[in-house]
Chains A and B, each alone.
Chain A
Amino acid sequence: MNVYADLPLLQQGIHTLAALVLVSSFALLAQSRVVATIQVFAWQGFLLAAITALVAWETDLEHLYISAALTLVLKAFFIPWLLIRQARKLGILREFDTIIRPGITLMVAVSLVIFSYNVVLPIQQFSQSVTRDAIAISLALVLISMLMLITRRKAITQVVAFMSLENGLFFAAVSATQGMPMVVELGVAFDVLIAAVIFGIFFFHIRDSIDSLDVGLLSRLAETDE
């Protein structure tokens, strides 16, 4: 298929950036150092802001510039800064998180991407359009973030996974639908902000109760025998 080469330059740019976002989610999955994970997450936020700005330019929708700026501030700077600050306070910035079976995890991630493309295949109406790819990539981002969430043990990297899940949703909103109505976007950003702050409070509660941020140790409430 030479669909890609036929696209206008701006759309090619959006597509390339979208591919980079997908790459960044693989990088998040495989990165075990806490500080590097947060940095990759910041880059992902930056890429998303760039995509949003490009889409805004392409479609001439002013409110998308606002959400691009919001994403840049919130996802590329504020949340990473908050996480790094807290990791430093907790003394785990340079530590490594254990990843369960990294090889298999990456293979699963690859199959998730294929699965996502398969899911969107029946959307006949847009079979020629690029939005179908956008939905597939965002679905893949969401699923890979969920995979990251279950393969991590540290509370802080789980939060990064949670936030990158939010990134996937945001990507879906921007690339497939040129952004949600403004009131919804602002509300979602507000929720993310509050969530980041509450997560910050939680790190300290968890450390105070189990002397570690390894949430694998939190396992008393399982529905098992004795």
Chain B
Amino acid sequence: MNVIDWVLIIPVVGALSLALIPNARLGAWLNIFISATGLAVSIWLALTVLGNGAITSDLFYVDAFNVYLVVLTLLVGMTTAIFSRPYMAHELDIRKLTPLRLRLYHSSFQGFMFTMLLALTTNNLGVLWIALEGATLATVLLVSLYRTRESIEAAWKYFILCGVGIAQALFGTVLLYFAASRVVPDPDQALQWTVLYEYAGQLEPVIVALAFVFLLVGYGTKIGLVPLHNWLPDAHSEGPTPMSAVLSGLLLNVALYAVVRIKMIVDAALAGGDPHNPQLAGYLMMAFGLLSFIVAGLFLHRQRDIKRLYSYSSIEHMGLMTFAFGVGGPLATFGALLHMTVHSLTKSAIFMTVGHASQIAGTQQIDRIRGIILTQPVVGWGLLIGTVAIAGFPPFGVFTSEFLLLTATMKSWPWLTIPLLMGLAVAFAGLFRHLHPMVFGKPPEGQLPIAVNPLPLLLHLGLVLWLGLSIPRFLAEWFDEATRLISGSSLL
């Protein structure tokens, strides 16, 4: 068995064994252990790819682009598992949850990790679809874990909207297969990334363009692009917080990964220029991305629920990344890859502190969360620093990536830097008008600290700070290799 098999087997074994273990507290420890093992194996995978180049087989395709996402996925998975142990134990103590549902949570968590890893490592566009649909199925019962009326509504919306959305992606996949099966000798291989890249220039451009529209709408629903984003704030706000952390930090990234891979095929297929604009895919992504970025920034201002607030911030950042991949070119692509990393680290860290803050205050209502720094400094400062980082302040990594993105935009689309800068300012104001009273305000009487494990938070914010100050050489080369794969030329 090779290393990719292990990356996928570990979460499957984890999901099955966690479903069978009745003791919820033991399950939480086991969840951490399985996630840590997965991380170790993924680092092994990364070293293999780094040493020997891309791994290609009929089933799997791992190159510089997806291997770093695999490591990132498992890293965030592990830290979220560490965070969720005290968090879920508290939920159990205040009787929001039963041990049985906690068991469902642990098992689905690993099931979700499996679908993410399968979507990332597979060589087959169809299997990618199956995995992303599987991700919806694995998480939908988690969104309704608390069984409140709101959470049922959120889960139903999530299920129907993501199901219908991703159905469009399957239609696009069928169209792409239709185009590919005419030119690829063995139709069984016609959905493989490696084969599609090879034959991309010969695909019928009309069908490919049509397919891309469907694929973008389909996977765009999962990315949370406006106007397909309605499920996202609901699912984030009503589900348990570790779920929000992995949805924001991982699922959105993986959906974006799918779109970027497809864009690479579409760009090659439309390169002839006739009858479609060769940059059709890029233009569509720029339009959707910019719209999401601005609309989500405005929506930040009117949120009343702390988790909804940060889920709109996720939409905003995903919009920015989609825009950047749409702009294309080495600089924008490098910036977008870096932004994917720092956003998912920062956002999952924020959701962790948000989860603790709402446990301290006993509510997710922004109006009633006050004075967290005074009650529990770790949580309050974590929330403050995390938000400062996500808003794009130096010296954090988000600043670096946003700076790169702005520079790239300035080069190729100078006028578009104006809406981008305005959007950043609007989003900054939207976050801080809510944040300030929450961390600095006067705490209500009797507000008590709770049990937290600050390790994941420190690790994430430390990494984001490090990436903002200096990107280590191997990581920069890694990003550069991925940039070369996506945009055709390298940056460094």
Chain B residues in 8 Å Cβ range of A187:
126-127, 130
Whether B137 and A194, one on each chain, are in contact in the complex, defined by CB atoms closer than 8 angstroms, is: yes
B52 at the binding interface (Cβ < 8 Å): no
Q: A181-B187, A187-B126 are in contact. Are A169 and B152 (CB under 8 A)?
A: no
Chain A residues in 8 Å Cβ range of B174:
138, 169, 172-173, 176-177, 180
Binding stretch for chain A, among B203-211, B346-354, B432-440, B442-450 = B203-211
Which of B153, B159, B181, B237 is A198 in contact with, Cβ under 8 Å? B159
Per-residue contact bits, chain A 118-130, to B (CB 8 Å; 1 contact, 0 not): 0110111100000
Chain B residues in 8 Å Cβ range of A149:
160, 164
In the complex, what's the smallest C-beta–C-beta distance from B108 to chain A, in angstroms? 11
Interface residues of B, dominant DSSP: helix
In the complex, what's the smallest C-beta–C-beta distance from A56 to chain B, in angstroms? 15
B134 at the binding interface (Cβ < 8 Å): yes
In the complex, what's the smallest C-beta–C-beta distance from B132 to chain A, in angstroms? 10
In the complex, what's the smallest C-beta–C-beta distance from A101 to chain B, in angstroms? 21
In the complex, what's the smallest C-beta–C-beta distance from B69 to chain A, in angstroms? 21
Which of B154, B167, B207 is A123 in contact with, Cβ under 8 Å? B207
Q: Which B residues, 232 to 262, have Cβ-Cβ distances below 8 Å to chain A? A: 233-234, 237-238
Q: A155-B156, A181-B187 are in contact. Are A220 and B150 (CB under 8 A)?
A: yes
- Give Cα A125 to B182, complex, Å: 11
A191 at the binding interface (Cβ < 8 Å): yes
Whether A181 and B124, one on each chain, are in contact in the complex, defined by CB atoms closer than 8 angstroms, is: yes
Chain B residues in 8 Å Cβ range of A223:
233, 299, 302
B395 at the binding interface (Cβ < 8 Å): no
Whether B206 and A124, one on each chain, are in contact in the complex, defined by CB atoms closer than 8 angstroms, is: yes
- Give Cα A155 to B150, complex, Å: 16
In the complex, what's the smallest C-beta–C-beta distance from B109 to chain A, in angstroms? 16
- Give Cα A162 to B163, complex, Å: 8
Whether A198 and B140, one on each chain, are in contact in the complex, defined by CB atoms closer than 8 angstroms, is: yes
In the complex, what's the smallest C-beta–C-beta distance from B186 to chain A, in angstroms? 10
Q: A139-B171, A177-B181, A183-B127 are in contact. Are A202 and B155 (CB under 8 A)?
A: yes
Whether A221 and B150, one on each chain, are in contact in the complex, defined by CB atoms closer than 8 angstroms, is: yes
A210 at the binding interface (Cβ < 8 Å): yes
Whether A206 and B234, one on each chain, are in contact in the complex, defined by CB atoms closer than 8 angstroms, is: no
Which of A131, A184, A210 is B191 in contact with, Cβ under 8 Å? A184
- Give Cα A162 to B167, complex, Å: 9
Q: A142-B167, A155-B156 are in contact. Are A184 and B130 (CB under 8 A)?
A: yes
A112 at the binding interface (Cβ < 8 Å): no
Chain B residues in 8 Å Cβ range of A188:
126, 129-130, 133, 170
Q: A123-B204, A172-B171, A198-B141 are in contact. Are A218 and B126 (CB under 8 A)?
A: no
Whether A195 and B163, one on each chain, are in contact in the complex, defined by CB atoms closer than 8 angstroms, is: yes
- Give Cα A205 to B157, complex, Å: 14
B5 at the binding interface (Cβ < 8 Å): no
The range of chain B's interface size is 35 or more
- Give Cα A180 to B175, complex, Å: 11
Per-residue contact bits, chain A 98-121, to B (CB 8 Å; 1 contact, 0 not): 000000000000000000000110
Whether A206 and B156, one on each chain, are in contact in the complex, defined by CB atoms closer than 8 angstroms, is: yes
Whether B204 and A209, one on each chain, are in contact in the complex, defined by CB atoms closer than 8 angstroms, is: no
In the complex, what's the smallest C-beta–C-beta distance from B103 to chain A, in angstroms? 15
Chain A residues in 8 Å Cβ range of B93:
none
Which of B126, B154, B206 is A184 in contact with, Cβ under 8 Å? B126
Q: Which B residues, 122 to 156, have Cβ-Cβ distances below 8 Å to chain A? A: 124, 126-127, 129-130, 133-134, 137, 140-141, 144, 147-150, 152-156
Whether B126 and A205, one on each chain, are in contact in the complex, defined by CB atoms closer than 8 angstroms, is: no
- Give Cα A23 to B127, complex, Å: 31
In the complex, what's the smallest C-beta–C-beta distance from A15 to chain B, in angstroms? 18
In the complex, what's the smallest C-beta–C-beta distance from A162 to chain B, in angstroms? 6
Q: A184-B126, A201-B141 are in contact. Are A146 and B299 (CB under 8 A)?
A: no
Q: Which A residues, 173 to 216, have Cβ-Cβ distances below 8 Å to chain B? A: 173, 176-178, 180-184, 187-188, 190-191, 194-195, 198-199, 201-202, 205-206, 208-210, 215
Look across to chain B and name the residue whose beta carbon is closest to the beta carbon of A220: B150
Q: Which A residues, 147 to 178, have Cβ-Cβ distances below 8 Å to chain B? A: 149, 155, 158, 162, 165-166, 168-169, 172-173, 176-178
Chain A residues in 8 Å Cβ range of B44:
none
In the complex, what's the smallest C-beta–C-beta distance from A210 to chain B, in angstroms? 6
Whether A177 and B178, one on each chain, are in contact in the complex, defined by CB atoms closer than 8 angstroms, is: yes
Whether B124 and A184, one on each chain, are in contact in the complex, defined by CB atoms closer than 8 angstroms, is: yes
Whether A180 and B177, one on each chain, are in contact in the complex, defined by CB atoms closer than 8 angstroms, is: yes
Q: A169-B171, A180-B177, A191-B133 are in contact. Are A221 and B157 (CB under 8 A)?
A: yes
Which of B126, B147, B168, B170 is A181 in contact with, Cβ under 8 Å? B126
- Give Cα A124 to B204, complex, Å: 9
Whether A218 and B137, one on each chain, are in contact in the complex, defined by CB atoms closer than 8 angstroms, is: no
Whether B175 and A135, one on each chain, are in contact in the complex, defined by CB atoms closer than 8 angstroms, is: yes
Q: Which B residues, 161 to 198, have Cβ-Cβ distances below 8 Å to chain A? A: 163-164, 167-168, 170-171, 173-175, 177-178, 181-182, 187-188, 190-191
B275 at the binding interface (Cβ < 8 Å): yes
Chain B residues in 8 Å Cβ range of A205:
144, 147, 152, 155
Q: A119-B210, A155-B156, A181-B188 are in contact. Are A166 and B167 (CB under 8 A)?
A: yes
- Give Cα A205 to B168, complex, Å: 27
Residues of B bordering A, CB below 8 Å? 124, 126-127, 129-130, 133-134, 137, 140-141, 144, 147-150, 152-157, 159-160, 163-164, 167-168, 170-171, 173-175, 177-178, 181-182, 187-188, 190-191, 204, 206-207, 210, 233-234, 237-238, 275, 299, 302
Task: Rank and list the top 7 A-B pairs by shortest CB-CB distance, nearest first.
Answer: A184-B126, A187-B130, A218-B153, A209-B149, A172-B174, A177-B178, A191-B133
Provide 9 A-B residue pairs closer than 8 Å at the C-beta atoms, listed in order of the A residue. A125-B182, A125-B204, A142-B171, A172-B175, A178-B181, A187-B130, A205-B155, A209-B148, A218-B157
Residues of A bordering B, CB below 8 Å? 119-120, 122-125, 131, 135, 138-139, 142, 146, 149, 155, 158, 162, 165-166, 168-169, 172-173, 176-178, 180-184, 187-188, 190-191, 194-195, 198-199, 201-202, 205-206, 208-210, 215, 218-221, 223
- Given A169-B174, A194-B134, 11 more contacts at CB 8 Å? A125-B206, A142-B171, A158-B160, A177-B187, A183-B127, A184-B129, A187-B127, A188-B170, A202-B144, A218-B156, A221-B153
